[in-house]
Amino acid sequence: MRITLALSVCSLLLTSVSGSAQDLADFGDPFEAENFDPAVLTWPEQSLPRITLYDNGPLVNCPGCGAHGADESQVQTALNMSSYGFDNLIDNGASVADDFIVIDSVGWWVEDMSFFVYQPWSGGAVTITALYVRIWDGDPTAGGCPMVGDMATNILETVSWSNIYRVSDVTSGNTDRPIMELVAPINIGLWQGTYWVEWSTDGTLLSGTRVAPITILGQTTTGNGLLHTTTWNAALDNGTGTRQGFPFIVYGNVNYPPDGSPGSSKGSFQVIGGRRPNAEREWPSHGRGIFCNGFESGDTSVW
């Protein structure tokens, strides 16, 4: 669930596009299976800014309150909340998921995403070693299909401390749970619509990995996140039983390819999932995807 959404560049104009109309016509209709070939389906090089496309919600509810001036994400025990974080350790078969909305009619090129995870008692050292990400074309509990990614391929690119500690409102200053920011390259184009992102992690400590929920001062319900082990379940705070959301950030740029189809700011676009507006089938995937709800989803193994 979106809690905050960065200003989107809805009126982005391209002032320069290399290539001719004939160059584009040569591609044919990318929605026809006979024309689909990720190896050759390219768009002219474009120079679009990398921006924050989507921010799913805040972690910090006490800025500067932590040790050495760090920010804190405080469990609000005064509101009877008690959950520090939710298990998403890959060895436990655990993952979390939350939704995001592509608001622009021309779609987005998603370059990378940031996730926020901690290992208890890591001492601030970088102990998280793996990140697994999967994007769904809808709510996994309501008929959504996995489009791209899997829970077997580690796509972790960078890990750094977020300058945030997860504490309670009565343990301010504690440093047992330093939250790390994990960045993963995504590099896909998405149509306008609602998607879900699922992620799981691994680390070197026996304490496991945890995802701190969206934290907003004075609020006990912060989103519509999901947990998965053997089945999908709502992410509920143990104390209040209220639904929680999970913070993550989407980076990239607003698409504006010549024919209005999703395209790449890097000069190429691999069609690996998503529905064309008003279409009744998925993008063709040449048998590399999986069948879901009667359609063949995009290649779920490609990043």
User: Is residue 8 predicted with pLDDT exceeding 80?
Assistant: no
Q: Which secondary structure element, helix H or strand E, spans residue 25, and what is its range?
A: helix 21-25
Place of tokens 């189809």: 261
Burial category of 277 from C-beta neighbours within 10 Å (exposed 0-12, middle 13-18, buried 19 and up): exposed
**C-beta neighbour count of 259 within 10 angstroms:** 12
Amino acid at 34: E
What is the tens place of the pLDDT at every residue in 107-120? 898 999 999 999 99
217 contacts 146 by C-beta, under 8 angstroms:
no
What is the tens place of the pLDDT at every residue in 200-246? 999 999 999 999 999 999 999 999 999 999 999 999 999 999 999 99
Hey, where are the domains in the chain?
A: 45-276
148 contacts 272 by C-beta, under 8 angstroms:
yes
pLDDT of residue 191: 87
Angle at 256 between CA 9 and CA 275, to 5 degrees: 100
User: Is residue 299 predicted with pLDDT exceeding 90?
Assistant: no
Angle at 192 between CA 212 and CA 261, to 5 degrees: 130
Tokens, residue 213:
């929920």
- Segment 181-186 shows an average pLDDT of 96
Q: How far apart are the first and last CA of the chain?
A: 25
Place of tokens 């078969």: 93
What is the tens place of the pLDDT at every residue in 138-155? 999 999 999 999 999 999
296 contacts 284 by C-beta, under 8 angstroms:
yes
Place of tokens 């995009």: 298
Q: How confident is the model at residue 7 (pLDDT cuts 50, 70, 90)?
A: very low
Give the global pTM: 0.76
User: Is residue 265 predicted with pLDDT exceeding 90?
Assistant: no
pLDDT of residue 255: 74
Whole-angstrom distance, CA of residue 86 vs CA of residue 204: 18
pLDDT of residue 67: 97
Q: What percent of the chain has pLDDT over 70?
A: 68
- Segment 65-78 shows an average pLDDT of 98
Ranking 47-56, 142-151, 165-174 by mean pLDDT, the lowest is 47-56
Whole-angstrom distance, CA of residue 91 vs CA of residue 96: 14
